[in-house]
Amino acid sequence: MKNVRVELINTGTEILLGSIVNTNAAWLGNRLFEAGFRVERETVVPDGYAISEAMRESARRADVVIVSGGLGPTSDDVTREALCDVCGVDMHRDEHVAEGLRNYFKRRGISIAECNFKQAMVPDGAAVLENPNGTAPGLVMPASERLPMFILLPGPPSELKPMVERSVMPLLESMVDGDIPRLRVFRLVGIGESDLQDLVDDSLHQVQGLEVAYCARIGEVDVRLVGNEVALKQGEARLLTLAGAYVLRPLGATLERAVVLYLKGLGLKAATAESCTGGLIAKRITDVPGSSGVFEFGWVTYADRAKTEMLGVPAEVLEEHGAVSEPVVKAMAEGALERSGADVAVAVSGFAGPDGGTPEKPAGTVWFAWAFRNGGTVTEMMFYPRDRESFRQMVSQKALIGMLAARKPQAVTE
């Protein structure tokens, strides 16, 4: 395939201020890759004439420059003017676009302001991309001997995405020549990024034409493989041979979806008893469509009294050992199992911090218990000295991983 260098430029002061997340770049990067294009660079600039400099810089490197934003009717929308400046052309009023603007506002029973006709101004030599979902048409300036192709798109995702699918992708796909590289993502849990690399990296890099990358998040690691189908099949086989025990199934599934599908496949029900996570484990499970087939009961027993009244944890056990202890979390899991009639129940109790804890049990200490019907109860203590949000995410991650150890009751031996 011919290497077509693509760069993205996103305009919007609100992106740089952190007021909104730049979802356009993420969506465009993924959509372009599906079509065989790799985005080589992304630039974000504020509203105004910084766009001119960004377009000039990209023009020195890229074959295609895609710009989103700055096509509206207000004074800070100057992407059209920037394109004229970079290409050395003038603008003209496109009466077909102007008529479309009049009809757009008329259909909505709104009077059109004169400033809206700014959107009917088209750089000389550019083609117009219709926008049935808004007022700002897109623009395509063909490549020349000294400049790349420029594609200008409206900023709102509800306008940008349909325009890309309808008009931009057919244009770009005509430039594709040869095999298109594909992406395959494998999600692994129970192993750290460094240990995973030591385990699989040398073998994966022996596959000709295979690109390998790792992305670590809280409690899990993604392995990204990029290549043609032959390389991907070889890479997948090597990864599953060396690290298959850590790979979530179905391939690419989130942990919570993998848990729900795993339990559903075994015909098992699950329950949760949470203290420090405040219901996060149950939320992650119920975020999965179809989770009602495996999940019916969940308790958030933050106070000691709730643990006793709702789960039957003996008050004397709480008094003797404290809420963050093996006996208490074991009683929580077994109480949830008994009261719910589930096949597996997970319980957690810990100090999320930053306050709380003791010298013997500092903030970040957490106890887990997984109770399995006819299969006993497994407990484990972990220490996650992190911020409160990361602690809760780590705990929910570990709790869900443990549920993948559930088995059909008849398969459990005494």
Number of Cβ within a 10 Å radius of residue 180: 15
* Paired tokens of 149: 């192709």
Q: Are 87 and 125 in contact (CB under 8 A)?
A: yes
Q: Of 119, 139, 173, which residue sits at a domain end?
A: 173
What is the predicted pLDDT for the residue at 34? 83
The percent of residues above 70 in pLDDT, for the chain, comes to: 97
pLDDT tens digit string along 97-136? 999 999 999 998 999 999 999 999 999 999 999 999 999 9
| Domains: count for the chain | 3
Tell me: do 266 and 204 sit in the same domain.
no
Tell me: do 280 and 333 sit in the same domain.
yes
What is the predicted pLDDT for the residue at 178? 65
* Distance in angstroms (rounded) separating the CA atoms of residues 225 and 232: 7
Minimal CA–CA distance to 180: which of 123, 232, 235?
Answer: 232
pLDDT tens digit string along 178-231? 677 888 999 999 999 999 999 999 999 999 999 999 999 888 999 999 999 999
Q: Of 246, 263, 285, which residue sits at a domain end?
A: 246
pLDDT tens digit string along 135-169? 999 999 999 999 999 999 999 999 999 999 999 99
Instruction: Report if residue 228 sits inside a domain.
Output: yes
- pLDDT of residue 299 exceeding 50, the answer is yes
Instruction: Report if residue 300 sits inside a domain.
Output: yes
- CA torsion angle 204 208 210 212 (round to 10): 40
Tell me: do 165 and 188 sit in the same domain.
no
- pLDDT of residue 409 exceeding 90, the answer is no
Tell me: do 281 and 224 sit in the same domain.
no
Domain that holds residue 385: 255-411
What is the predicted pLDDT for the residue at 66? 98
